[in-house]
Amino acid sequence: MQKETMSLNSKDLIALEDKYGAHNYHPLPVVLAKGEGVYVWDAEGKKYFDFLSAYSAINQGHCHPRIVQTMKDQAETLCLTSRAFYNDKLGVYEQYITEYFGFDKVLPMNSGAEGVETAIKICRKWGYEKKGIPLNEAIIVVCGQNFHGRTVSIISFSSDPDAKGKFGPYTPGFESIPYNDIDSLKAIIDEKADKIAGFMVEPIQGEAGVFVPDSNFIKESAALCNANNILFIADEIQTGIARTGSLLAICGDCTCQGHCEQQESYTRPDILILGKALSGGAYPVSAVLANDAIMEVIQPGQHGSTYGGNPIACAVAITALDVVKDEHLAQNARKLGNQFRAEMQKLVDKFDILNLVRGKGLLNAVVINDSPDSSTAWDICVRLADNGLLAKPTHGNIIRFAPPLVMTEEQLMDCVAIIEKTIAEHISA
Ligand SMILES: *Cc1c(COP(=O)(O)O)cnc(C)c1O
């Protein structure tokens, strides 16, 4: 069976997914078979730069040798105990991650959506037990164009008709304000502060097309929450772990490497949600961090997951976070990000088909000058793949560019050349 699979070409493999898999994704027609650092190879051995990084899960690069070694070692020793018993990795990991990000406690889960669900549950329970909101009346404020995952409760407050349509009835208790609109947040707090338990926000909206809010939006919303006894919840599943040029996007311009020496210089959320790059792409690991006064509302039997906090996840996450620090990935993302946007700005100036470039660190997007319904961004991505660079359109006519953070300056310039060549080809086609 294994031999037979290995002899299948990309066309066969796409046909298999098409026939036997649910059609819940629309991938570019590229079948990947191997990865190393910033590179991936398809089933025919063609090499590509990865400019998506599995939606920022691969910040540390594909198959990072230290992460892979940790995973192998732990897999040979102990994989899963469930939380019916203690295991010898969980406590060590909990101490490590809470010190790394500066919180009292962590609640370990697997997928990002589970992390968000966990934060919602903690926030609601805190609202009833600590804030005194009447039972079942807690409100969590969210932002338009958000992306927090795919569960029924999470899509209940999505503004994307594909994500939400025909999946009702929806979970109540969420109210949406426009992103980056501090006045709307003020207005809803003025009206309903007593019932608002939390405000959940992405410090930069990734899926929506890499929207970077005004520099004071996050700080001011956190301050408003703080003044009104509302939990400020940061979903850093995509933006966190060095992606945007600092350990967390909420760190702003703080350049610390994990052990934040300037805690007061950044907006500390009451609840921080991490996922994706927490394992460097090796394993599904998510985490919800909060201080004792918040986390203590969760007691035995009230939340959990069979795999959450398993020994492989714990060991892998420690190494993945070590790599971020040891290899100075935040600094590299910051430096290369500035360079990348400067290079893309030259292309925006040169080619009418490119409207603008925006982003922070190595989470960037180029907006295509065409209707959101046109296939221009898709066509360019197909052509980029032909030229050896993998990127994916996101909402409308936007191409997200988010390579692994282990990229070198020289590799980045090679990628810029591929992008320039591709745009020129697209225009003359
Ligand atoms: C990817 C993502 C999620 C969901 O994570 P999954 O692991 O896909 O469930 C939630 N929030 C943000 C901001 C994300 O980017």
Assess whether the C-beta atom of 111 lies below 6 angstroms from ligand 1: yes
Q: Are residues 154 and 278 in the same domain?
A: yes
Q: From ligand 1's centre to the CA of 338, what distance in Å? A: 25
Nearest-angstrom CA–CA distance, 294 and 32:
43
pLDDT band for position 429 (50/70/90)?
confident
Q: Are residues 55 and 85 in the same domain?
A: no
Q: What is the pLDDT of residue 326?
A: 97
Q: From ligand 1's centre to the CA of 304, what distance in Å? A: 19
Q: Which of 186 and 372 is assigned the larger pLDDT?
A: 186
Assess whether the C-beta atom of 60 lies below 6 angstroms from ligand 1: no
Joined together, the tokens standing for residue 82 give 């469930």
Q: Which of 326, 347, 363 is the last residue of a domain?
A: 326
Contact 144/159 with Cβ under 8 angstroms?
yes
Q: Which of 310, 326, 342 is the last residue of a domain?
A: 326
Q: Give percent above pLDDT 70 in the chain.
A: 95
Q: Are residues 94 and 17 in the same domain?
A: no
Contact 226/232 with Cβ under 8 angstroms?
yes
pLDDT tens per residue, range 70-125: 999 999 999 999 999 999 999 999 999 999 999 999 999 999 999 999 999 999 99
Q: What is the pLDDT of residue 252?
A: 75
CATH code of the domain in which 273 resides: 3.40.640.10
Q: How many folded domains does the chain comprise?
A: 2
Burial level of 377, CB count in 10 A (0-12/13-18/19+)?
A: buried
Q: In ligand 1, which atom is closest to the CA atom of 235? A: 13
Assess whether pLDDT exceeds 70 at residue 1: no
Q: From ligand 1's centre to the CA of 235, what distance in Å? A: 8
pLDDT band for position 396 (50/70/90)?
confident
Q: What is the pLDDT of residue 135?
A: 98
pLDDT band for position 260 (50/70/90)?
low
Assess whether pLDDT exceeds 70 at residue 257: no
Q: Are residues 318 and 259 in the same domain?
A: yes
Assess whether the C-beta atom of 149 lies below 6 angstroms from ligand 1: yes
Q: Which of 63-67, 257-261, 270-274, 338-342 has the lowest mean pLDDT?
A: 257-261
Q: Which residue has the tokens 């934060």?
A: 119
Q: What is the pLDDT of residue 268?
A: 84
Is 147 marked active-site?
yes
Q: Are residues 89 and 137 in the same domain?
A: yes
CATH code of the domain in which 378 resides: 3.90.1150.10
Q: How far is CA 133 from CA 45, 204, 221, 236, in A?
A: 59, 30, 21, 27
Q: Please, what is the average pLDDT of the chain?
A: 95
Secondary element (H or E) of residue 291: none
Q: Which residue has the tokens 């790599």?
A: 323
Assess whether the C-beta atom of 275 lies below 6 angstroms from ligand 1: yes
Assess whether the C-beta atom of 238 lies below 6 angstroms from ligand 1: yes
pLDDT band for position 256 (50/70/90)?
low
pLDDT band for position 377 (50/70/90)?
very high
| Active-site choice (235, 340, 392, 401) | 235
Assess whether pLDDT exceeds 60 at residue 291: yes
| Active-site choice (101, 147, 232, 401) | 147
Q: Are residues 194 and 341 in the same domain?
A: no
Q: What is the pLDDT of residue 251?
A: 82
Q: Are residues 301 and 345 in the same domain?
A: no
Q: Are residues 136 and 227 in the same domain?
A: yes
pLDDT tens per residue, range 27-56: 999 999 999 999 999 999 999 999 999 999
Q: Which of 326, 347, 367 is the last residue of a domain?
A: 326
Is 276 marked active-site?
yes
| C-beta atoms surrounding 407 within 10 Å | 24
Q: Are residues 278 and 144 in the same domain?
A: yes
Q: What is the pLDDT of residue 262?
A: 56
Q: Rounded to an integer, what is the distance from CA 296 to the centroid of its chain?
A: 26
Q: Are residues 32 and 127 in the same domain?
A: no
Contact 26/16 with Cβ under 8 angstroms?
no
pLDDT band for position 204 (50/70/90)?
very high
Assess whether the C-beta atom of 237 lies below 6 angstroms from ligand 1: yes
Q: What is the pLDDT of residue 266?
A: 61
Q: Which residue, 153, 16, 70, is CA-closest to 322?
A: 70
Joined together, the tokens standing for residue 61 give 């690069």
- Domain containing 351 equals 2-60+329-428
Q: What is the pLDDT of residue 261?
A: 55
Q: Are residues 36 and 78 in the same domain?
A: no
Nearest-angstrom CA–CA distance, 238 and 244:
9
pLDDT tens per residue, range 208-247: 999 999 989 999 999 999 999 999 999 999 999 999 999 9
Is 235 marked active-site?
yes
Q: Are residues 109 and 180 in the same domain?
A: yes
Q: What is the pLDDT of residue 265?
A: 54
Q: What is the pLDDT of residue 71?
A: 98
Assess whether pLDDT exceeds 80 at residue 20: yes
Contact 109/308 with Cβ under 8 angstroms?
yes
pLDDT tens per residue, range 148-176: 999 999 999 999 999 999 999 999 999 99
